[in-house]
């Protein structure tokens, strides 16, 4: 029993360590769903149905996303689609480079 729990914990840890991260830079404050992000450099990882943003000071925030994993051509670069409102980038989509995954953010 203990050996089974240890193996399960080890596999879970391996999944977390191997999670791919993607780099983003915001030139102005941004909003991803209900989360406010200051301007600066971030990495984003997908964990289940959440996008986890980590800034350059290691502050971590997560927000619910809808994953669209279309079977089309992989995105060459990580990019984002956003609108601007009152000096803030309102993030609608993030296309994850090297994958076919798009993160969709609600309002």
Q: What is the pTM of this model?
A: 0.79
pLDDT tens column, 38-93:
999 999 999 999 999 999 999 999 999 999 988 789 999 999 999 999 999 999 99
Average pLDDT (11-38) is 79
Report how far residue 37's alpha carbon sits from residue 28's, in angstroms, rounded to the nearest whole number: 9
Q: Which of 105, 9, 107, 100 is nearest to 51 (CA)?
A: 105
- Model confidence at 11, pLDDT cuts 50, 70, 90, reads very low
Report how far residue 38's alpha carbon sits from residue 56's, in angstroms, rounded to the nearest whole number: 11
54: left (phi over 0), alpha (psi -120 to 50) or beta: beta
């Amino acid at each position: 029993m203990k050996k089974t729990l240890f193996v399960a914990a080890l596999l879970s840890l391996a999944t977390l360590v191997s999670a791919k991260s993607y780099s983003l830079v915001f030139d102005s404050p941004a909003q991803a769903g209900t989360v406010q992000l200051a301007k600066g450099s971030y990495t984003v990882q997908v964990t289940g149905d959440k996008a986890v943003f980590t800034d350059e000071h290691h502050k971590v925030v997560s927000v619910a996303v809808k994953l669209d994993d279309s079977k089309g051509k992989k995105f060459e670069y990580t990019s984002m689609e956003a609108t601007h409102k009152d000096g803030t980038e309102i993030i609608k989509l993030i296309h994850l480079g090297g994958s076919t995954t798009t993160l969709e953010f609600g309002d």
